[in-house]
Amino acid sequence: MNKQIFVNLPVKDLDKSKAFFSALGYSFNPQFSNDSGACMVIAEGSIYAMLLTEPFFKTFIDKPIVQAKEATEVLVCLSCESRDEVDDLVARAVAAGGRTPRAAQDHGFMYAHAFEDLDGHIWELVWMAPQA
């Protein structure tokens, strides 16, 4: 079995978060979703984000939840197939209510941009030139 990653993120409103990420083109696995959490498929078979309501998320920790709109604990970075995919995802995120924390960065061999989701979690998107 290949390794998989499940990034668990607390969300204030599960339905709004699902609508936000659906607008970016992501789907959800109903087998691992309920009223307390939703399994967002980023890359079938390998990368998932578990969007968990804050009360449910708290059952896994004994510390306070970081309020991502006020402080950043983690940057979720996803590779993209092209510069256009980076720009498209950021544009969709902004159209769905997200925001960009900074301008795009073009390093020639690497192109990066980012968006914040509705809860303030930062999603970095990166395209790397194949020859790099």
pLDDT at site 131: 84
pLDDT at site 1: 66
pLDDT at site 113: 98
Query: Are the beta carbons of 111 and 86 closer than 8 angstroms?
Result: yes
Extract the residue ranges of the chain whose pLDDT is less than 50: none
Cα separation, 99 vs 55, in Å, equals: 25
Per-domain residue ranges for the chain?
5-128
Provide the CATH topology of domain 5-128.
2,3-Dihydroxybiphenyl 1,2-Dioxygenase; domain 1 (3.10.180)
Task: Give the global pTM.
Answer: 0.91
Phi and psi at 88, nearest 5°, equal: -65, -45
